[in-house]
Amino acid sequence: MIQLSYRSLKTEVRESKIHGRGLFAKADIAQGEIVVVKGGHIVDRETLGREITPHLGPVEIQIDDNLFITPVNAAERELSMLYSNHSCDPNLGLRGEITFVAMREIRAGEELTHDWAMTDDDDYSAECNCGANSCRKVLTGKDWQKPELQRKYAGYFSAYLARKISKQS
């Protein structure tokens, strides 16, 4: 079966202390290396909420104000899932809107995570279980607006958020 998303051969999916299954490095990964690329269909927020999330759960990545890339049925779910959990101390960042690269050298065995602040502009609030010393405890869909995160993730925000941030300043 041809995958919808790309996952580097240096990754594997297994149980995570953060949540459910997570994505892990099974070999060292160099800074800047492509780790995963999200694939799927492009849908708007209304379609996502009506047709996708109730059946498949959280499977999408936001790629613009009103656009998401997502599997659209159960058969596609596994072919599209990245399994990258959220961390407040992540090792992956965005190049463009769907490509996740290593923000630093990553060692075999590390869980591969991104920060939802890098991709999301939304209205949710959620408890975080990432376990990082710097954990924010409560995540919101507006975390991209936090100046300290804008500094921390400069160069690694989804392109549509990077454009908003540069318009602000």
Site for ligand SAM, rule CB under 6 A: 16, 18-22, 58-59, 83, 85-86, 128-130
Q: Which is nearer to Zn ion, 49 or 58 (CB)?
A: 58
E-strand spans in 20-84? 21-25, 34-37, 41-44, 61-64, 67-70
Decide which of ligand SAM, Zn ion, none touches 129; Cβ closer than 5 to 8 Å per partner kind.
ligand SAM
Give the three-class secondary structure for 136.
coil
For residue 167, what are the contacts with CB-CB under 8 A and spacing of at least 6? Answer: none
Q: Which is nearer to ligand SAM, 73 or 166 (CB)?
A: 73
For the bound state, the minimum distance from the C-beta of residue 145 to Zn ion, rounded and expressed in Å, comes to 17
Decide which of Zn ion, ligand SAM, none touches 135; Cβ closer than 5 to 8 Å per partner kind.
Zn ion
Decide which of ligand SAM, Zn ion, none touches 165; Cβ closer than 5 to 8 Å per partner kind.
none
- Please state, in angstroms and as integers, the Cα–Cα distance from residue 117 to each residue in 11, 18, 21, 28, following that order: 23, 17, 21, 25
- Report yes or no: 23 and 111 within 8 Å, Cβ to Cβ: yes
- Report yes or no: 39 and 3 within 8 Å, Cβ to Cβ: yes
Q: Which is nearer to ligand SAM, 67 or 132 (CB)?
A: 132
For the bound state, the minimum distance from the C-beta of residue 16 to Zn ion, rounded and expressed in Å, comes to 13
For the bound state, the minimum distance from the C-beta of residue 168 to ligand SAM, rounded and expressed in Å, comes to 26
- Measured CA to CA, the distance from residue 2 to residue 75 in angstroms comes to 12
- Report yes or no: 101 and 93 within 8 Å, Cβ to Cβ: yes
For the bound state, the minimum distance from the C-beta of residue 19 to Zn ion, rounded and expressed in Å, comes to 11
Which residues of this chain interact with Zn ion, rule CB under 5 A? Answer: 88, 128, 130, 135
